Structure 1
Amino acid sequence: MLRLALERGPAPTYAALASELGMTASEVHGAVERAVAAQLAQKDAGGKATVILGALRLFVQHGARYCFPAVRGSLTRGLPTGYAAPPLKDQIVAGNDPLPVWPHKNGTVRGIGFYPLYPSVPEAAGRNPALYELLALFDAVRGGSARERALAIDLLDKRLQA
């Protein structure tokens, strides 16, 4: 839904989304159907899904960290997420603790593994900087401190406005 929230026109096809996100078309279709059932999205007469931005914002604010709890691992190389990634990295000064990273073979930062929502998230984020920001903010909501969550919710709120 975060990827679809970036669209301001007609939604891409399931195949196009699948290719961009590193998923299968059936996985994307299933995710959209679950979002429609949860009233986070709606379909038009042609079957194209659009995100209900107000509902998605409420879900991210109040349900994300309970439905998708943060799972951390050990020190690893990866792609920064949460407060270590844009746009939060400009607002939060990192301490001496290792940064949260999505484990990835081509990662450039060594930090504590913070497992993404889906295994292909690092590749999808690398292809779409706007999606990367939304996913990193989502991770700050689901696994950050109270201050990080508040800042991330505020930034997500601005990005997910209709």
Structure 2
Amino acid sequence: MFIKQQDIVVALKFTLGGDLLSYAELGRELGMSASEAHAAVRRLDEARLVEPESKIVRRDVLMKFLVHGVPYAFPARTKEVTRGMPTAWAAPTLADKFQISGQMSPVWPAPDGTVQGVAVKPLYPSVPGAAQRDSALYEMLSLVDAIRIGRARERQLAEKELSNRLKPHAA
């Protein structure tokens, strides 16, 4: 069985305490069905990204996968100009760390978006809604996008920020 994009979203939610939710609650918060959430947890278990019994995320393994696997398994490219929700280095998590002039911000296309920028396909279609409901998840997902689409400098800073958030004491 292969990892799917939504599994990464579930794993990140788990690092933020989502492992305490029922599958129905997890699905509701992430904009997916309870059966999709359950299947994602099963795949995470098979991929050894979570502990089999407790469903606690193996943070060091997840970090390695986010940095070395996600950009290749789930690549993203910037597309047309649209309105949306800022992601990657344009999201609040990294925005104050970069002075990028003459370049449009990467955004997840969203009808109620407040920023005009270049479209980036989110890991999973429900990501913008889930990010609006959970600011900590938004931070994590935007850092993953910086790894997926960023240049060396953006990727390096995103890796550092993600690593800090995924440290066991951050739980």
Calculate the TM-score normalised by the size of structure 2. Answer: 0.89
Counterpart residue type for residue 37 of structure 1: E
**C-alpha separation in 1, matches of 2:166 and 2:41:** 18
Q: CA deviation at 1:72?
A: 2.7
Q: Tell me which of 127, 130, 142 is aligned to 2:133.
A: 127
Q: 1:24 to 1:10 in 2, by over 3 A?
A: closer
Q: 1:22 to 1:133 in 2, by over 3 A?
A: same
Corresponding residue pairs, total: 158
| Contact in 2 for aligned 1:15/1:25 (Cα 8 Å) | yes
Q: Where does the alignment leave 5 or more consecutive residues of structure 1 unmatched? A: none
Q: CA deviation at 1:95?
A: 1.7
Q: CA deviation at 1:119?
A: 0.8
**C-alpha separation in 2, matches of 1:37 and 1:140:** 27
2:3 aligns with: none
**C-alpha separation in 1, matches of 2:93 and 2:41:** 27
**C-alpha separation in 1, matches of 2:107 and 2:69:** 22
1:12 aligns with: 21
Q: Tell me which of 72, 77, 100 is aligned to 2:106.
A: 100
> What pairs with 1:57-96 in structure 2 (closer than 5 Å)?
57-96=63-102
**Partner of 1:91: helix, strand, or coil?**
coil
Is 1:141 the counterpart of 2:147? The answer is yes
Q: 1:116 to 1:10 in 2, by over 3 A?
A: closer
2:13 aligns with: 3
| Contact in 2 for aligned 1:11/1:50 (Cα 8 Å) | no
Counterpart residue type for residue 3 of structure 1: K
**C-alpha separation in 2, matches of 1:10 and 1:145:** 32
Counterpart residue type for residue 26 of structure 1: S
2:59 aligns with: 53
The percentage of aligned residue pairs carrying the same residue is 47
1:27 aligns with: 36
**C-alpha separation in 1, matches of 2:117 and 2:138:** 18
> What pairs with 1:142-157 in structure 2 (closer than 5 Å)?
142-157=148-163
| Contact in 2 for aligned 1:11/1:49 (Cα 8 Å) | no
Q: Where does the alignment leave 5 or more consecutive residues of structure 2 unmatched? A: 1-10
Q: CA deviation at 1:66?
A: 0.5
CA deviation vs aligned residue, 1:18-47 (integer Å, no higher than 9, x gap): 000000011111111111111101232xxx
| Contact in 2 for aligned 1:22/1:123 (Cα 8 Å) | yes
| Contact in 1 for aligned 2:13/2:19 (Cα 8 Å) | no
Q: CA deviation at 1:107?
A: 0.2
| Contact in 2 for aligned 1:79/1:108 (Cα 8 Å) | yes
Aligned-residue CA RMSD (Å)? 1.2
**Partner of 1:43: helix, strand, or coil?**
coil
More helix by share: 2
